[in-house]
Amino acid sequence: MMRAILLLACSAALALPGAAIAQANDYEQAVELRRTDPAAAAALLERWLDAHPGDTDALVQYGYALLTLGQLAEAEQAFAAALAIAPGYTDASEGIALIAARRADRQETRRGFALVEGALSDLGSGQRDWHELGAVIGAPVGLLGTLEGQVRWFDRFGAEDVELGALYTHKAGENLWLRAGASATPSADFRPEIGLAAGLDYRLAPSSVATLDVSWQRFPAQDVVSLRPGFTQYFGGGRYALGVFGRAVFVDGDALVGGSVRADWLPADRTRAFVGVASGPETDLGEVRDTTSLYGGGEVPLSATVSLLGSLSREWRATGADRTEARLGVKLAF
């Protein structure tokens, strides 16, 4: 009897170190595989975390493996779990910031798409006939660029213009995007006869993006130069964004300035809700006028490739009628 007990005790003593070594090997192998085979690393870390749910190092390694696989929501949960246990864990905080940058990139990435959009307006003082209809198509150009072409029809109090435009965007570096565009309106009544534009986005930090756009437009009544700097900060792993933008318009030797603030909620790819306020110069009628506006809208996916876009805005003008606009569009991704 005593001999049997001793044998069982010895077997248990030998088995426990073997199990511990096997588990330790899971973690060590996962760390080695995380960059070369993230799927295998994630599987090993899942097994390790089943036995060690409070291991913050393993949670962070698991988060980075999932981030490499593009599973942003799951990676965010792993980093958040590590921070809940160790709020000062720098690698976990950096992981959250990287997720915000990745989500920002997804929102900015222009895949192939086609968009048809229309707008109807209701103006004060009994004025009508303010409508728009447009179509935009964009496609990748090489590995780092996209090209968009657009045609838009505008109706303003019985005068109609058709404006044609193109925009090229190029990813010039890991944190830098450049764009250039041009437009023309044959026989223009109030839209720019010709226009040129250039701009850039620069990521200052994983969740902070600075923008700058400059344009020149020759309207039938005047030439207009516009400068629009901006800054966007992403929060909550990229699920929320707050943008602040300025605008300076130079016309006939005068400079008019304004600005806007916009807040976005980005719960998933191709899903967005936004609200904003803007005040300053605008050129909807072919001449510069001070305008204040409140607006909101969003994008909702209807299927894997089709999204519905909509917005509603209210504008108050220093001169001319106030305006309420409803805008609706359908976007097809490919």
> Which tokens sit at 231?
């800054």
Distance between CA atoms of residues 182 and 193, nearest Å: 11
pTM over 0.85: no
Question: pLDDT band for position 19 (50/70/90)?
Answer: very low
Distance between CA atoms of residues 180 and 199, nearest Å: 6
Cβ-based neighbours of 333, under 8 Å, separated by 6 or more? 111, 112, 113, 270, 305, 306, 307
Distance between CA atoms of residues 283 and 273, nearest Å: 26
Give the tens place of pLDDT for each residue, 271-323.
Answer: 999 999 999 999 888 888 899 999 999 999 999 899 999 999 999 988 777 89
Q: Which domains are delineated in the chain?
A: 23-88 (1.25.40.10), 112-333 (2.40.160.40)
Question: pLDDT band for position 126 (50/70/90)?
Answer: low
**Residue whose pair of structure tokens reads 């930090």 in the numeric block:** 205
Average pLDDT over residues 170-195: 94
Average pLDDT over residues 212-229: 96
Residue 72's SS3 state is helix
Distance between CA atoms of residues 67 and 166, nearest Å: 35
pLDDT at 102: 75
Higher pLDDT, 126 or 206: 206
**260 and 291 in contact (C-beta within 8 Å)?**
no
Give the tens place of pLDDT for each residue, 225-268.
Answer: 999 999 999 888 788 999 999 999 999 889 999 999 999 999 88
Q: Over the chain, what is the mean pLDDT?
A: 87
